[in-house]
Amino acid sequence: MTISYAAAISGPVARSLKALVLAAGLSLVPSAYAASANTNPAYQCHRVAVLAPDGTPISGIEDLAVDQRRQRLILSAYDRFAVQDALRHGEDPPQGNLYVTDIASLVKGTPDEIEARVLVTRGMEDVILHPHGIGLYDDGEIQRLAVVNRLADRHDHSAADLLLLEFMGDGLVLAGRARGDAYCRANDVTLIGPDTAIFTFDQTQCGAWGVWLERIVQPRRSGLRLTRFRQDGQVETKTLVSDAAFANGVALDKTTDTLLMTASRDGEIRHYPLEDLLSGDTDFAAVEVDGGPDNISVTGQGDVSLAAHPVPFDLFLYMNGLGELPGSRVLLRRAGQDNFVMIDPDAEELPGAATSAVFLGERVVVSSAWDEGLGLCVPTGPQADGDRK
């Protein structure tokens, strides 16, 4: 797979072609989105069932966050299909949950199943929880979790919240809540300070018809917004970037003070110097990706991992009841390296249409909003089971 840096990758002609392809319902895929045959044999991947406290398999694990302090993995999950079915029948959608599982259960041996516990939340009695993207902040003293919460209102299916949660004991307490149209298409989030979040908005329309139309036309109007949670309970929000096609994942690389954002339908990972971005400078370096990048994560050492959809149009079809669940792809870049390594295994080795990937030492854990459980990729080379964090 070839990775290159550029200011931008898709011209008007290419974007128009993609729009025509979607509108016509054709299976033609632009070459920038073509699946690559490259694989990395240095990893062996297999699926791991994740069991809720009642023993049922957890489905729809949208995003992952590594809690190094408590040595556990945080999972955000809700069953999209169960939610959609309930909405079609005019019923209240089932809630999702934030879960945790011990890192030790995933870094030793090759488990076929693991157990997860519900991460107890307090002060959220009026919150309908459908956690989407999550971002963990830990400066050694303060530890907080930001959560994009979709379907936050039984009477308005486009409503979404941005939640700021503080760790207290073994659970979480609501520390801030941002609501309104600015958040209706919030997707992923990262905390750049204990009270300051940057989140992606993947589209601009809030209503169902507007959302669907944007998915067909694919305007380059999505991007990044910043939210500050004030001590008086109010929030301040401003748009930082609004020129991407389906802004998706976001993460902060603290080793370089760089904000990374994936643009799924541009097929790129954008790198923004954080200080410049906050000052209004939206120049970025872009890494072209063979596929549609989704959620992205960065370790404390600067190692980058992300999930990508080999052919994004296949996921679009599946989301609309057409075709099979697509396969998954994972991209990894170690700190100081220019190129990504790609894990492109057989379909049965990972959850389909993966949306998130994180490093656990030398191992990689993969999740999907559209499938059950996790994927665990174990290195087979000399780096196997190292102590990298």
Tell me the C-alpha distance between 159 and 116, whole Å: 28
Tell me the C-alpha distance between 78 and 76, whole Å: 7
pLDDT for position 1: 30
Closest CA to 362 of 337, 380, 385, 331: 385
Number of independent structural domains in the chain: 1
Question: Rounded to the nearest 10 degrees, how much is the dihedral formed by the CA atoms of 11, 287, 262, 45?
Answer: 130
Q: What is the side-by-side order of every strand in the sheet holding 117-118?
A: 61-67, 72-77, 97-102, 117-118
Report yes or no on 384 lying in a domain.
Answer: no
List the chain residues with pLDDT less than 50.
1-38, 387
Report yes or no on 109 lying in a domain.
Answer: yes
Tell me the C-alpha distance between 70 and 166, whole Å: 14
Which residues make beta-bridge pairs with 168?
171
Report yes or no on 208 lying in a domain.
Answer: yes
The CB-based long-range contact list for 279-287 (8 Å cut-off, 24+ gap) reads 282/240, 282/241, 282/243, 283/7, 284/7, 285/5, 285/6, 285/7, 286/5, 286/6, 286/7, 286/8, 286/9, 287/3, 287/4, 287/5, 287/340
- Residue 106's Cβ-side half-sphere holds a number of Cα atoms within 13 Å equal to 32
Which residues make beta-bridge pairs with 199?
189, 225
Tell me the C-alpha distance between 254 and 259, whole Å: 9
Residues 306-330: tens digit of each pLDDT = 999 999 989 988 988 889 999 999 9
* Encoded amino acid at 361, one letter: G
At 165 the three-state DSSP class reads strand
Tell me the C-alpha distance between 155 and 92, whole Å: 9
Pairing relationship of beta strands 43-51 and 113-115 according to DSSP bridges: parallel
Closest CA to 249 of 331, 177, 167: 331
- CATH for 86: 2.120.10.30
Helix axes 12-24, 208-217, angle to 10 degrees: 120
Structural domain harbouring 109: 5-379
pLDDT for position 36: 35
Tell me the C-alpha distance between 152 and 339, whole Å: 39
Closest CA to 331 of 365, 300, 369, 293: 293
Which burial class, exposed, middle or buried, applies to 379 when counting CB atoms under 10 A from its CB (0-12, 13-18, 19+)?
A: middle
Question: What do you get for the CA distance between the two ends of the chain, in Å?
Answer: 26
Report yes or no on 246 lying in a domain.
Answer: yes
pLDDT for position 326: 95
